[in-house]
Structure 1
Amino acid sequence: MPEKTAFLLSEFLKTNQVSTDTRKIKEGSIYFALKGENFNGNLFASEALSKGASFVVVDEDINADPQKTIKVQDALMALQQLASAYRKTLKAPIIAVTGSNGKTTTKELIFKVLSSKFKTFATQGNLNNHIGVPLTLLSIPQDTEKIVLELGANHLKEIELLAKISNPDYGLITNVGMDHLEGYGSFENVAIGHNELFIHILKFGKNVFYNKNDKQVTEMASRFALPISYPPEGLKIIENKFFIKLQTSSGKIINTKLPGAYNFDNVAVALTIGLYFGVKESDAIQAIEEYQSSNNRSQILKTAKNTLLLDAYNANPSSMELAIQNLSSMDAPNKVAILGDMFELGKYSDQEHLRMLQIASKENLKFIFACGIEFCKHRATFPQIYFYDSRDQLLSWLNHNELENCTVLLKGSRGMALEKLVEVL
């Protein structure tokens, strides 16, 4: 262990506090001066000390107390090295979750199930990148019994780095879809990127969980001696209205608060992992039934006028296709799709936005609204679809043209912020 990392670890263990933001600093925190496109944390190091930081870790010369200043080559790398060192002090097994779609819902379901028996810690919100994962690791209490980490990436070698930092014992790839194609460059590279998790665990971890109905992920898991498969034998969907209802092989019913058959795999792996770690089936089922998605992910909202399927946290072609198909299959009145642009598709953007419109136009939907510059490129091809250059343009139209007694899907990338349409629906 590098000398500076060892020193930082010894100091960190005194308070268990780090900070990258002087606005939220706590007494005794170690402040890391991170840099971004529009900020330079080195400029705030003196302020961090004045607000009670025990030390500041900087990668530029600054005018501050030299006794409390630790100069390194790269402050972000120093944060990652500290997180990796602290991870080695944790006795709890780490289960890492990555994949194209469903990472957060899967992580939350696993957390709920394991929490029914163990003191469990999971990634908060979306802290799943090269900064978020180290900060997550450094916030885990020493007495934690199980850890569920979400790993996200938008280019090759990123999962490899996150796995090196967190060194997970177990891994799970939810699926391989068409996400972050701009960064990855191709669908094949998306698969290679996700597989970096399994490669790391094969060398340094214990085992992986894999979806036996997914040929690509099954192939990735085939290098392990005894990988753990899901869904459990006999688990099936017995009802798919607004929420899916499942039945286990023993006949027990699982009444979820999750919409869409696409959530079946998320429930299945949470149940599988719970049983693997010794959670009683009845406790696991209760935990799954209690779970309710939030933060604009797979949410069903009933307003005074409509029923909304709010899935607007993010979107890629794989998840949007599933969302459209799920809406179409629902036994519900007046089905409406509101689709927002999908970001980070690079050279695939034109063809994938066109493909989504082709899919939606063939489904049994009362109205289709498409908003965003990318969708609007195909306006002339689909006269039956309502196109809007922006979300605000659609918002204005909805203010003057009420939708009532409809089941409305809202699906788009984070930057489209389609949840802002909820107020008029």
Structure 2
Amino acid sequence: MKLTYAELPELYRLYLQHPQVSIDSRRVPDGGLFIALRGRTDGNQYAAAALAAGAAYAIVDDPEVAAAGDDRYLLVEDGLKALQQLAGRHRAAFRMPVFAITGSNGKTTTKELIAAVMSQQYRVHATPGNYNNHIGLPLTILSMPPGTEFLILEMGANHRGEIAELCAIGRPTHGLITNIGTAHLEGFGGQEGIRLGKGELYDFLRTNGGVVFVNNDEPQLADMAQGMSRIIPYFSSEEPSLSVAGLEIKTLATHPNLRVAFFSEARELVETDTQLAGKHNLQNVKSAIAVGRYFKVPGAGICAALSGYRPANHRSQWLTHRGVTFYWDAYNANPSSVGAALSSFSADSAPSDSVVVLGEMLELGEAAPAAHRQVALQAGQVARTVLLVGREMAEVAREFDRPHFADSGQLAEWFWQQEWAGKKVFVKGSRGNRLERLLD
């Protein structure tokens, strides 16, 4: 059976009958759909295994596989396009708010905080983990449970045009950019490329009459949002007032954990603690408060969500392992996020009691040498002991006479042979460094 885009309604009908989708034959749901994608491996090769595991249909783009004579094979021109078109068709069937989040840093934490806040009032479905690319976003849409009232889509990108493609699939009605930093400099072609690439979310919302939430404390965002008719501004203030346009949020403490205050629906200034540390997380918390207030989540609910949220996945966590206290923020790294995290760590730790572990930062292109030198210099101001990991850190380690480790395995072997009593250890690096080996 040949199934092309013109026959998408038929594919969507089958999805409605079997509303579970998998691209992994090892995790295919019984009675669901398996979609074969080509990548590091060719998913077509696993279609038979998916059917044997209980898939109702296997959607493939290899005619030889589909020619096996089994009516459960559905042939499409391109498996990835079929997945994306199916998700777009499903998204079009709903009129709920769809909230998109992109930016250089803080996307996942902001998404999780907004999900926690909105779940106080609505049935929320959000991007799992960082499933935020051209494959993860369609899968997020197709995995929406029945009765979902608020959909949150995290959108990641490493080159221009990618956010526009994700918006075309997810069709957000509301959204925000966390910040314009220095992630994926190589793919975006520099800082201006990052601004234009992330700004594709604003472009979509501007064209389609959407609502944009703008953190006025983040450079560039207000200028980028000019010309939009529906802007919800929010910002920090030492003396919040109900007489100004926009939502003002007061910072009561930044360490050991953030504590903030904001005006509730009752026009009362309410205070809440969080389990997040550092000024860089303040921006994420402010975004969650702004979205919750706009969608009429009671102040008490916002406070409960923020105080109950505990960061996971190696993000902004204080933890103790084998008697050593770690500030762990090793899910991802770029120059701006490393700098912000180091500043927050230094507010709670004296240099003599501090150890900094920095993994290399990836996808920086020609900016890599200067960027690694910059963060190593800052680390030296924060801690007397600085440990550098990865190939990109080798030259910096030689220049500053710092211990260097080829990878996290070598680091872990050396690290646990030392005595760290009374020290606080800061750990940050790109995901590819696998610095979690320190916790094995």
Is this a same-fold pair by TM over 0.5?
yes
Report if the CA contact (8 A) 1:315-1:411 is conserved.
yes
Q: How does 1:56-205 map to 2 (within 5 A)?
A: 56-61=58-63, 62=65, 63-205=67-209
Q: CA deviation at 1:366?
A: 3.0
1:211 to 197, 212, 215: 215
2:385 to 343, 367, 372: 367
Q: How does 1:191-340 map to 2 (within 5 A)?
A: 191-231=195-235, 233-249=247-263, 250-303=268-321, 305-331=323-349, 334-340=353-359
Report if the CA contact (8 A) 2:356-2:425 is conserved.
yes
Q: Structure 1, residues 215-240: CA drift from partner, whole Å, max 9, x if none?
A: 31111211211300113644222222
Q: Structure 1, residues 365-416: CA drift from partner, whole Å, max 9, x if none?
A: 2311111111111223213x32223222222221221211111110001111
Report if the CA contact (8 A) 2:23-2:36 is conserved.
yes
Q: Distance in 2 between matches of 1:49 and 1:302?
A: 45
Which sits farther off after the overlay, 19-28 or 244-253? Answer: 244-253
Q: Structure 1, residues 334-373: CA drift from partner, whole Å, max 9, x if none?
A: 1221101111111111111111112222x24231111111
Report if the CA contact (8 A) 1:339-1:411 is conserved.
yes
Q: CA deviation at 1:205?
A: 4.5
Report if the CA contact (8 A) 1:83-1:165 is conserved.
yes
Which sits farther off after the overlay, 118-127 or 396-405? Answer: 396-405
Q: AA paired with 2:320? A: K
Report if the CA contact (8 A) 2:325-2:423 is conserved.
yes
Partner of 1:341: 360
Q: Distance in 2 between matches of 1:18 and 1:229?
A: 38
- Structure 2 unaligned runs (5+)? 236-245
Report if the CA contact (8 A) 1:305-1:405 is conserved.
no
TM-score by length of 1: 0.95
Partner of 1:48: 50
Partner of 1:394: 411
TM-score by length of 2: 0.92
Partner of 2:39: 36
Q: Distance in 1 between matches of 2:145 and 2:95?
A: 11
Q: CA deviation at 1:94?
A: 0.5
Q: Distance in 2 between matches of 1:32 and 1:205?
A: 34
Q: Distance in 2 between matches of 1:233 and 1:91?
A: 27
- SS at structure 1 position matched to 2:86: helix
Report if the CA contact (8 A) 1:298-1:310 is conserved.
yes
| Corresponding pairs, count | 420
Report if the CA contact (8 A) 1:310-1:419 is conserved.
no
- SS at structure 1 position matched to 2:157: coil
Q: CA deviation at 1:4?
A: 2.0
Partner of 2:370: 351
Report if the CA contact (8 A) 1:167-1:205 is conserved.
no
Q: Distance in 1 between matches of 2:34 and 2:413?
A: 45
Residues 1:246 and 1:345: Cα distance change in structure 2 (over 3 Å): same
Q: Distance in 2 between matches of 1:118 and 1:271?
A: 15
Which sits farther off after the overlay, 241-250 or 191-200? Answer: 241-250
2:25 to 22, 25, 40: 22
Report if the CA contact (8 A) 2:100-2:153 is conserved.
yes
Q: Structure 1, residues 241-280: CA drift from partner, whole Å, max 9, x if none?
A: 2211112254422111001011111111101111111101
Which sits farther off after the overlay, 156-165 or 371-380? Answer: 371-380
After superposition, the CA RMSD in angstroms is 1.7
Q: AA paired with 1:151? A: M
Identity %: 37
Q: CA deviation at 1:80?
A: 0.2
- SS at structure 2 position matched to 1:400: coil
- SS at structure 2 position matched to 1:183: helix
- Structure 1 unaligned runs (5+)? none
Q: AA paired with 2:14? A: E
2:425 is the counterpart of 1:408: yes
